[in-house]
Amino acid sequence: MAELKTAADVVKLIKDESVEVVDFRFMDFPGLWQHFSVPARTVDEDAIVEGLGFDGSSIRGWQTINESDMLVKPVAESGFVDPFMARKTLVLICNISDPLTGEDYTRDPRNIARKAVNYLQSTGIADTAYFGPEAEFFVFDDVRFDQNEHEGYYHVESEEGRWNTGRDEQPNLGYKPRYKEGYFPVPPTDSLQDLRSEMMMTLEEIGVPIEAQHHEVATGGQGEIDLRFDELVTMADNLLKYKYVVKNTARRYNKTATFMPKPIFEDNGSGMHTHMSFWKGGDNLFAGDGYAGLSETALYAIGGILQHAGALIAITNPTTNSFKRLVPGFEAPVNLAYSRRNRSAAIRIPMYFSSPKSKRIEFRCPDASSNPYLGFSAMVMAAIDGITNKIDPGDPLDRDLYDLPPEELAKVKTTPGSLREALEALNADHEFLLKGDVFTEDVIETWVEYKMENEAMAIDLRPHPWEFAMYYDMA
Instruction: Report which listed range, 130-144, 336-350, 351-365, is most confident.
Output: 130-144
Mean pLDDT of 45-63: 83
CA angle 240–241–246, rounded 5-degree value: 100
pTM: 0.94
Per-position DSSP letters for 290-358, written without gaps between them? SGGGB-HHHHHHHHHHHHTHHHHHHHHS-STTHHHHSSTTTT---EEEEEES-TTEEEEE--S---GGG
364: annotated active-site residue:
yes
- Across the chain, mean pLDDT equals 93
Lowest mean per-residue pLDDT among 129-143, 162-176, 317-331:
317-331
Measured distance CA(430)–CA(111) in Å, rounded: 18
Percentage of the chain surpassing pLDDT 90?
A: 82
Out of 82, 136, 190, 237, which one is annotated catalytic? 136
Which residue in 343, 399, 421, 429 is the catalytic one? 343
Q: Which residue has the higher pLDDT, 419 or 57?
A: 419
Distances (CA, A) of 112 to 107, 250, 316, 381: 7, 31, 15, 11
Give every CB contact of residue 319 below 8 A, 6+ residues apart in sequence. Answer: 260, 261, 367, 369, 419, 455
- 431 has pLDDT over 60: yes
The answer to whether the CB of 378 falls within 8 A of the CB of 316 is yes
> What amino acid is encoded at 184 in this protein?
F
Given this model, what pLDDT does residue 365 score?
Answer: 96
Give catalytic status of residue 453 as yes or no: no
C-alpha radius of gyration, the chain, whole number: 23
How do residues 360-382 score in pLDDT, each as one tens digit? 999 999 999 999 999 999 999 99
Q: What is the pLDDT at residue 402?
A: 65
Q: How confident is the model at residue 156 (pLDDT cuts 50, 70, 90)?
A: very high
Q: Which amino acid is at 193?
A: Q
Q: Give the pLDDT confidence score for residue 401 in this predicted structure.
A: 64
Distance of CA 320 to the CA centre of its chain: 15
Residue 273 annotated to the active site: yes
Residue from 364, 367, 420, 424 carrying the catalytic annotation:
364
Residue 344 has a pLDDT of: 76
Q: How would residue 65 be classed by pLDDT, with cut points 50, 70 and 90? A: low
Find the catalytic residue in 224, 367, 385, 455.
224
Nearest to 319 by CA among 284, 386, 277, 272: 272
150 classed as catalytic: no
Rounded CA gap, 172 and 189, in Å? 13
Percent of the chain at pLDDT > 70 equals: 96
pLDDT digits (tens, 9 = 90+) for 82-129: 999 999 999 999 999 988 888 898 889 999 999 999 999 999 999 999
DSSP 153: E
Give the whole-angstrom CA distance, residue 368 versus residue 236.
Answer: 11
Q: Which of 377, 390, 395 is nearest to 433 (CA)?
A: 377
Greatest CA separation for the chain: 75
Q: How confident is the model at residue 64 (pLDDT cuts 50, 70, 90)?
A: low
Residue of 3, 45, 55, 296 marked catalytic: 55
136: annotated active-site residue: yes
**Does the pLDDT of residue 11 top 90, yes or no?**
yes
More confidently predicted of 60 and 439: 439
Give the residue-averaged pLDDT of 448-470. 94
- Active-site option among 82, 134, 367, 385: 134
Q: Say yes or no to pLDDT of 317 above 70.
A: yes
Q: Which of 108, 216, 230, 424 is catalytic?
A: 216
Q: Which of 36-40, 55-59, 85-89, 288-292 has the lowest mean pLDDT?
A: 55-59
